[in-house]
Chain A
Amino acid sequence: MRREAPRHPLDYLPIAFPGLMLVVFFVVPFGTMIAVSFFRRDPAGFYAPDFVFDNYARFLSLFFANVLGFSLFLAMTVAIVSVALALPFTHMLARLPRKAQVVWLVALLSVLSLSEVIIGFAWSTLLSRTAGITNLFVWLGIMEQAQALTPSFGAVLTGMVYQAFPYTVLVLYPAIVRLDPTLTEAARTLGASPLKAFFTVVVPALRNTLVATVVMVFIFALGSYLLPQLLGRPQHWTLSVLITDQAIYQSNMPFAAAMAVFLVLVTLGLVAMTVLIGRKGEA
């Protein structure tokens, strides 16, 4: 189907509403945030309109570089683990009978309805010493003594992957369902094992989808600030946690805004880089 280029101003009407929403709910708030990030902080009170770079200067330190580095590393790990788990899962799901697929998808959607707080508390109980899964291991005779698995990096990662997994499946699902099954069949006929067919046919065919999914989950995970607090030690706190501290508890809006702007810029930069690398690979 060929689409005609819009010739009349009225032809733009269908996108006017989403465009307006984008301006009202994204461009304006983000613009406000950028403006506030240059305001002058008054430690004894609030902030005053100004144009200073102090807030960015404070952020440029080894301490915040480490926190930012950890946040990016954590989000990337969550994205890769989620996709690595969700890809084989979705691939198998797509080959189940229609009814079974619906049941699985509804179950996954219901996980999405859980708030971050509930997920955090549930995992901190599951991983605790007094009521956690290690008690089950002790009962089964696998472990000597129940122990606490939280707070730890593993606990943060588990909680965040749990939260990101349904999104990952839902993003991968349409692409995998549409994947031509004859491709795999051809590979099998030519003598490839199911595993080999999966890695040499399915994965390369989905390459762009996979990259897009990793980017999406990465951005999703970068904003997480509750789970690192609930399941991690202070060294596992993300930049989002420190932004919240500044905005809510220190009422230092300019600094919080500067950190948030920086986080957004770094994220956009990384996404752009991923897209560029993807393009080059295609050429």
Chain B
Amino acid sequence: MKDILKTSVSRRAVLGTGLAGVSMLAMPSMLRAQDKSLKVGVYGGYFKDSFDKHIFPEFTKATGIAVESVAEPTGEAWLVQLEQAARAGQAPADVSMISQVAMLKGQTTELWAPLDAAKLKNMANLKETFINKYPDGRIAGIGAVSWYITLVTNTDVFKEAPTSWQALWDPANADKLGLLALVSNSFLLEVTAKSFMGGTNALDTEEGILKAFEKLAEVKPNVRLWYRDEAQFEQSLKSGEIPMGQYYHDVTGLAAADGNPVRSTFPKEGGILDSGSWAVSRASQKGEEAHVFIDYMSQPAVQATLSRKVGTSPTVKRELLDLTPEEFAAVSSDIDPVIPRYDLYQTKSDWLNQKWTELIVG
């Protein structure tokens, strides 16, 4: 089983494994034996690279805790590995960046060690939505970073930026779209609900979900590529081969800054706001250090650094940040976002996945 997980990790993780080696060579200081240390899991590739460069050395300087960063695959593969390791009393990472669906799934098996609010003074800086709680109120995780998935276009092909997600349904865009291939990472049901059904509450019932699927089926003739691999779509978007689609706001901004003819637009219905949280494995022996790390990461100054250097959207309240309006616009938007219905992917995941696969494959 583990072999399957290892061979099919995403691009982020593949890059990350390579970068892990490079960054260890580049930063011998982090390997030096220190009294206090912490293993931190972040998405491999670009994220881990940026954290190793801009965040972890500063943290070690400020607290004396050495960080050993671990490249984790996106998706739920890491959750499975953490859970299996925890059953054996092992923690491949003490603190990990965890997606929201994985956060909920980990809660059902008590995978996350509850966090102590008294040791997290900076928790008050966070927006309320970025604090993950067990049903009984214990804190399971703290918002690490957030990011937007927006409507992206090739500027050579689309001279005018689209203004609404409804552009995906436009018959004029036949065979021009690149969309994410999985129900649980594309969040297109939520987009459909917000664009045509008055909001994501329309997905509360199965009838509502089926109606959203029906509406979403109309997009199929427009889709050229359902992608799992980010690199595949990014390349096609830059070349104009696939001139429209959904993609990460941060990476699109970086590509545009490099001179590629691409743009990211926040549609009037809002961009999709996804996020990752810090969570501590129950098998970790480093509870003290983990609290220090999470508290450090929740400071407005650190969140601002992340926005500037990594391009993520802050989890801290806007008014506490010293970001200029331009810097804020580069990573976020004041338009009310599409918030994914993570609860659905926990309670109805198999049903949704089956309907979705039948929709796009059938």
- Chain A contact residues, CB within 8 Å of chain B: 29, 32-33, 36, 41-46, 58, 63, 67, 121, 124, 128-131, 148, 151, 229-230, 233-235, 237, 242, 244-245, 247-253, 255-257
- Roughly how many angstroms separate A233 CA and B179 CA in the complex, as a whole number? 12
Interface residues of B, count at CB 8 A: 43
CB distance from B346 to the nearest CB of A (A): 6
Instruction: List, in ascending order, chain A residues with CB within 8 A of B347's CB.
Output: 43-44
Q: Using a CB-CB cutoff of 8 Å, which residues 1-59 of chain B contact chain A?
A: 1, 3-5, 8
The prevalent SS among residues of B at the interface is helix
**B201 sits at the interface (CB 8 A):** no
Give the interface segment out of B71-79, B115-123, B290-298, B305-313: B71-79
- Cross-chain contact B109 with A45 (CB below 8 angstroms): yes
- Roughly how many angstroms separate A229 CA and B353 CA in the complex, as a whole number? 17
- Cross-chain contact B361 with A67 (CB below 8 angstroms): yes
- Cross-chain contact A248 with B357 (CB below 8 angstroms): no
The contact of B239 among A33, A45, A131, A248, by CB within 8 Å, is A131
Instruction: List, in ascending order, chain A residues with CB within 8 A of B225's CB.
Output: 151
Evaluate whether A229 and B228 lie within 8 angstroms (CB atoms) in the complex, with A46-B83, A234-B360, A248-B8 already known. Answer: yes
**B196 sits at the interface (CB 8 A):** no
- Roughly how many angstroms separate A253 CA and B1 CA in the complex, as a whole number? 8
CB distance from A271 to the nearest CB of B (A): 23
- Cross-chain contact A251 with B361 (CB below 8 angstroms): no
**B197 sits at the interface (CB 8 A):** no
Instruction: List, in ascending order, chain A residues with CB within 8 A of B8's CB.
Output: 244, 247-248
Taking A128-B236, A245-B182 as given, write out 4 further A-B residue pairs in contact, using a Cβ cutoff of 8 Å, ordered by the A residue number: A43-B349, A130-B241, A229-B228, A237-B361
17 interchain pairs (CB within 8 A)? A32-B1, A41-B350, A43-B347, A43-B350, A44-B108, A46-B80, A46-B83, A128-B239, A148-B241, A229-B229, A234-B181, A245-B182, A247-B4, A248-B76, A250-B184, A250-B349, A251-B79
**B105 sits at the interface (CB 8 A):** yes
Q: Which residue of A lies closest to B80 (CB)?
A: A251
Instruction: List, in ascending order, chain A residues with CB within 8 A of B109's CB.
Output: 45-46
The contact of A63 among B181, B350, B358, by CB within 8 Å, is B358
CB distance from B201 to the nearest CB of A (A): 22
